[in-house]
Amino acid sequence: MRPALAAMAATPPEAPEESSSGLRLRLLGPRLPPDPHARPDRIASLIGMCVGASAGTLYGAILSARIQPLSSWQGSSISVGVGLGLGCLVGYILGPNLTVRPYFWAEETLATLPTSELLGVLGGVIVALAMAALVALIASGLPFGLGWVVAVLVAAVLVPLGLTVGRRRRRDFSMLGIASGSPGPPLAKVVVDTSAVIDGRLLDLARGGFCLYQLIVPQFVLDELQSVADSGDPIRRSRGRRGIAMLEELRSLPGLDLQFPTVDYPSMAEVDARLVRLTREEGASLLTVDYNLDKVAQIAGVRVLNLNQLATALRPSLVAGERLDVEVVKEGREAEQGVGYLEDGTMLIVEGGRYRLGERVPVVVRSVIQTASGRMVFANLDGEEPEAEARRPGPAKSPRKTGGSGR
Q: What is the pLDDT of residues 284-338, one digit of tens each?
A: 899 998 888 889 889 988 899 988 888 777 766 777 888 888 999 998 888 888 9
**Strand order through the sheet with 285-288:** 257-259, 213-216, 188-192, 285-288, 304-306
Q: Which residues contact 59 (CB under 8 A, 6 or more apart)?
A: 83, 87
Examine the pLDDT at 113 and tell me if it is beyond 80.
no
Residue-range domain boundaries for the chain: 38-101, 116-176, 188-313, 323-389
Q: Which of 68-82, 83-97, 121-135 has the highest mean pLDDT?
A: 83-97
Q: What is the mean pLDDT of residues 112-137?
A: 77
Q: Answer yes or no: are the C-beta atoms of 332 and 376 closer than 8 Å.
A: no
**Which among 174, 218, 175 has a CA at the least distance from the CA of 197?**
218
Question: What stretches of 159-284 adopt beta strand conformation (E)?
Answer: 188-192, 213-216, 257-259
Q: Outline where 253-319 has alpha helix (H).
A: 271-282, 291-299, 307-313
Reported pTM: 0.44
Categorize the per-residue pLDDT at 173 as very low, low, confident or very high, splitting at 50, 70 and 90. Answer: low
The CA distances from residue 306 to 44, 141, 309, 313, 350, in Å, are 38, 68, 5, 11, 37
Least confident of 77-91, 209-223, 392-406: 392-406
Q: What is the mean pLDDT of residues 80-95?
A: 86
For the chain, helix (H) and strand (E) counts, in that order, are: 15, 10
Q: What percent of the chain has pLDDT over 90?
A: 5
How far, in Å, CA of 309 to CA of 290, rounded?
11
| Residue 32 pLDDT | 42
Question: What stretches of 79-193 adopt beta strand conformation (E)?
Answer: 188-192
**Which among 233, 123, 395, 397 has a CA at the least distance from the CA of 241?**
233
Out of 2.40.50.140, 1.10.645.10, 3.40.50.300, 3.40.50.2000, which CATH number does the structure's domain 323-389 have?
A: 2.40.50.140
Q: Does domain 188-313 have CATH number 3.40.50.1010?
A: yes
